[in-house]
Structure 1
């Protein structure tokens, strides 16, 4: 694997730039183990990346699991408002999980050969090393097709989807990371959303030169409303799974001063929803907590615009697109001091950090924001807007196109 040492996430300004005139469009094959209709950070990133590349004139093909155990013929699907060619592979649902589907691993190279024969891409960009990405990387490498890899995986994300004893989980993790090292070794470059996530990956599999590239966000799609709110509303957006630790937020809600009259909007679905609804009732919070489930983009943006702050207790974020969406909506953030969240949330600037799992500390940080003087609250709002500016989607697209073309990365 070869890579550039520059850090695209640290640039002072996000620059939108179309490909240089005269450069021919690329035919890009994006390999995903999760993609629409799935709702999670990795899927959302791949969708926005693909749509952005289409907007720039590239010929984009996406290979992803089908929603049934049958192979769908290649067809055009409209993703994020843009048409692209989808190659849907037969998949089965992982029984303990409410939406996770996967392709049989022993079929991954077979499908990779067929898709690569049909598409003949200039470059392959895999979004994980797990199944589809693994097969594509191996066959593309054999054929001399350059491969770029982006890692969205944390160990906690893998363990959350198993029902096996710990000793089996440990074996699975060792195999998974060893396989990741082999797969990423076949690539031209490996990226991950933040410098902290890159450091984590380099330590975990002894890989050098991992490039931090923000998932990016189109800030024009959000409506920041500067100024104090007329009601104290906190909001969380994300999958309701174990590593998100939404129960810690619910516990913190019970420790807030009742005079603050705080309500909590939870946006997203997942296998923990029923448990969280039961906990909400047990804690006496049923009249203050709303489970919205999956929402449209318009509904989500409206919930963000009216909220007082965004809260996230997750211990396994390699970046958090949801947090960036909240920042683009001018919300102060209260976040767990874990993995890459401190990359977005600077304690005392655009919000506060708390020790993971500490409901008392979380309640104290929430109270600080909700009782802040108007000038202080607006300062945190502006800090969120300033902080998310460097994550502009156009800079992300510039960086990946440079990697695809094996050109210097934008400074």
Structure 2
């Protein structure tokens, strides 16, 4: 390590090629810190089973032997009986100045526990919402509230071991406190790279042509096609909207709900106006946002929603569910509108108000971009570095 640099170990139970918000955030955090001169290590499950080590984007990634997670179609896990030894070996080899844990599942839990045992300062960031996992578990509806409560209690107990706790938004912090966490929580935005995501400089027509999309008013959703994303509500809102506006819905993402959503569009007779792009590589996402006129999201388990921030940075108005942290990003009548989850007519009406006016699209899009600037990725990285420095100083003074 170069004298004067900071050595950070980030522990996460999900990391690319996993496709989810926590995994993407962890990668952006690690690569961003490395680009700022830190020595960064990540410990996470292997994407295909065998353990290994690789260096990518300036980050050393320590992959732990993993197994398929039967409750989730794409994620993998490290056996609890083996994770403690593996983490001990990684922490000993890396000897970090600070450990940053991204959750309370096996890898994060074991890393937090071992770091505290050997006196390494710790920070933990919560991305967890029970709704993101419960739909994969065959739990009777009448028991879901009880299971969610137990899950929150477990997360709170694990995070109580950390020296500093963050979560992406103020509203997300309130949710965690309301569900049992009694310590201090600092909101630190996941951040957005404003140099990558910005308003289009060419026409929407040209951007749509590059994606082989018809040239009509375009509503965009980006994300996993999982139950809690409630993409079916956006599809159901389209027939009513189309009676007044020549609009299409473009969906970028994959997931277990994909086949059902395709069938729903067919059953409603709107298959020609619902386009499924499938998985879009991160490098290509800016071009997808630039093909849209408006971003819509109906999810009810968003602690921040990186895709909404990306859409805002791209200069798009937003129509979003009035749930969890989305109201933190959408101000009614300013950069878009909120709707009550499940209110299909409400979605349609709000989409229409924006799409029927080019001036409304432009004004709300500009407001979105200005709001997104408050979440500049560089600002978030700088704050995390400040936290690391503050935590590591007492540890260094004991050496």
Task: Give the structure-2-normalised TM-score.
Answer: 0.91
Q: Which residue of 2 aligns with 1:406?
A: 390
Cα offset for 1:58? Answer: 0.7
Q: Which moved more, 1:259-268 or 1:379-388?
A: 259-268
Which portions of structure 1, spanning 4 or more consecutive aligned residues, are displaced by more than 6 angstroms? none
**How do 1:215-254 and structure 2 match up within 5 A?**
215-225=190-200, 231-254=216-239
| 2:146 is equivalent to residue 161 of structure 1 | no
Counterpart pick for 1:75 among 46, 51, 54:
54
Q: Distance in 1 between matches of 2:185 and 2:81?
A: 28
- Take 1:243 and 1:91, find their aligned partners in 2: how far apart are those partners? 26
Unaligned runs of 5+ in 2: 206-215, 393-399
Q: Does 1:379 align with 2:354?
A: no
Q: Mark the CA change 1:58 to 1:169 in structure 2 (over 3 Å): closer, same or farther.
A: same
Find 2:30's aligned residue among 15, 35, 50: 50
> Aligned partners of 1:45, 1:26: CA distance in 2, in Å?
20
1:34 aligns with 2:34: no
Q: Structure with the greater relative contact order (CA < 8 A, sep ≥ 6): 1 or 2?
A: 1
Count of aligned pairs between the two proteins: 381
> 1:359-374 residue pairs with structure 2 within 5 A?
359-372=344-357, 374=358
In structure 2, the partner of 1:4 is none
Match of 2:333 among 348, 354, 379: 348
Query: Displacement, 1:114?
Result: 1.4
Residue 177 of structure 1 is matched in structure 2 by: 152
1:3 corresponds in structure 2 to none
Structure 1 segments unaligned to the other structure (5+ residues): 1-21
Match 2:254 to one of 239, 249, 269: 269
In the alignment, does 2:302 pair up with 1:322? Answer: no
Inter-partner Cα distance in structure 1 for 2:14 and 2:248:
32
1:407/1:206 CA distance change after superposition, 3 Å: closer
Say which of 145, 166, 174 aligns to 2:120: 145
Q: Return the offset for 1:122.
A: 0.8
Distance 1:100 1:169, change over 3 A: farther
CA distance in 2, matches of 1:211, 1:59: 24
Q: Provide the rounded CA distance (Å) in 1 between the counterparts of 2:283 and 2:16.
A: 17
Contact 1:226/1:330 (<8 A) preserved: no
Residues 122, 391 of structure 2: 8 Å contact kept: no
Find out whether 1:98 has 2:73 as its counterpart. yes
Taking structure 1 as the reference length, the TM-score comes to 0.88
